[in-house]
Structure 1
Amino acid sequence: MATAQASPVRPARAGARRGPLAALRERPAAAKLLLLALAAVILVPLVHSRWGGGIWPDALTADLSAPLGDVTDWIVSNRDNHPLFLYFFGHISNAVVLSVRGVYLVLLALGWAGVTVLAAAVAWRVAGIRLALTAAVSFLACGLLGMWVPTMQTLALMVVAVLASVVLGLLLGLAAGLSDRTFRVLRPVLDTMQVLPAFAYLLPVVLVFGIGVPGAVLATVVYAAPPMARLTALGLRGADGGVMEAVASLGATGR
């Protein structure tokens, strides 16, 4: 009685040819480039046939000069009597002015000798004797050149702006560092604020608050707060997991 014997299965050769789809699956970057190339081959002739291939077509141009001009005219016309400016932006402006004036009066009360010694002491404590001497010489030079009062005005403005930037950046950084949803929302905003030129947000601030102390302080805050917020968030989110676990095991909470 004859028995059927199964033929042995031949192992696949190492050099066997693979199909193009299998090769693309192993190389997703090449697959994406191929899809983009196919889309360009199809869409570019269609776009050229519809709008031409020269300069940007006028039909696809959005003219924003008229709406922006209307907004500017409305702000200028209503800045002194509209409730939005009287009861919101007006209070912000008054708070900034009062804060700067308070710091300025404190600096005047210290006198030129007190301010110079205080600046030198802080610089010495932070960075050493060289920076302390530089700070002292800088303040003395401002006095010798007859620029002491403008220097104190600028210093008061910068003190308020730096403190406001630190507080705002710290709060935003804490929110972004402790919440994934807040981080996803704030990240594009912080990225945009850090790459925008200074005049891009300086002009709207000046338009709303005018040229003066409030506009200068708020423009400085808008410029300086995003790096503070980003560094705070990255510091919290980049904390070592082992350290956080050890701290939690000792009884620390999320607060």
Structure 2
Amino acid sequence: MIFEGKTVAITGAAGGIGTGLCRQFGRAGASVALMDLDRIALDKTCDALKAEGIAAEAFITDVSDLDSVRRAVAGTVEAFGSLDVMCCNAAIFPISTIEDTLPETWDRCMAVNTRGAFFCVQAALPHLRKSGAGRVVLTSSITGAVTGIPSFAHYAASKAALLGFMRGAVIELARDGITVNAVLPGVVETEALKLLGEEFATNARAIIPVHRLGQPEDIANAAMFFASPASGFVTGQSLIVDGGQVLPETPDGVLPPRQ
């Protein structure tokens, strides 16, 4: 998958899956626009990509604010001349039970995870049309779409809602040659995963048939397929990338590794 001459914008780019997306697209020849709210981490990530020889620019972006998103998109087009792929990846996951979740916690989760993707597509749309083969790739999750875990009901709702948005967007944007697809990661080894504790990661690894956690590059590889010419007849689809995590009926249903 070669992306020479293409511009890819990625939200939540300062760490985790977002950084993996930036690195993989950049290594495949794309110019990469990094969008994130964490200025320090964003600049560090952008500098690291440039050190690899990747064409990259950083834009401080609050995806929950339409004006902020519009400025970032305008800056991307000014810097690189086009915008061909919009990767809506930014997300938060405040840990809170249903009983304890405050209205503002629910609202912020929806604002970043769901409304943010809507704003990004809305702002990018004129440029994706000009591209002639525009691509939208959403980072959803198995959580909400397929599975559920305690203290993440609000997060699950926001990620499941992305799939409803995807299906509506597909119908509107198909006549412009724009495809819209979603990647559904399982448990991925990122800085954010550490917030859930080592026990969570250990338990997750135990129920994944391939016996490892996902890496940001695993998610990026799936996103790159959706963004490439190879997927021109694929739209409105959800690809689970989880090492088979959702399949075992019980924890002892996972076969041990061969010796």
TM above 0.5: no
TM-score w.r.t. structure 2 length? 0.22
Write 1 or 2 for the structure with the bigger share of strand. 2
TM-score w.r.t. structure 1 length? 0.22
Write 1 or 2 for the structure with the bigger share of helix. 1
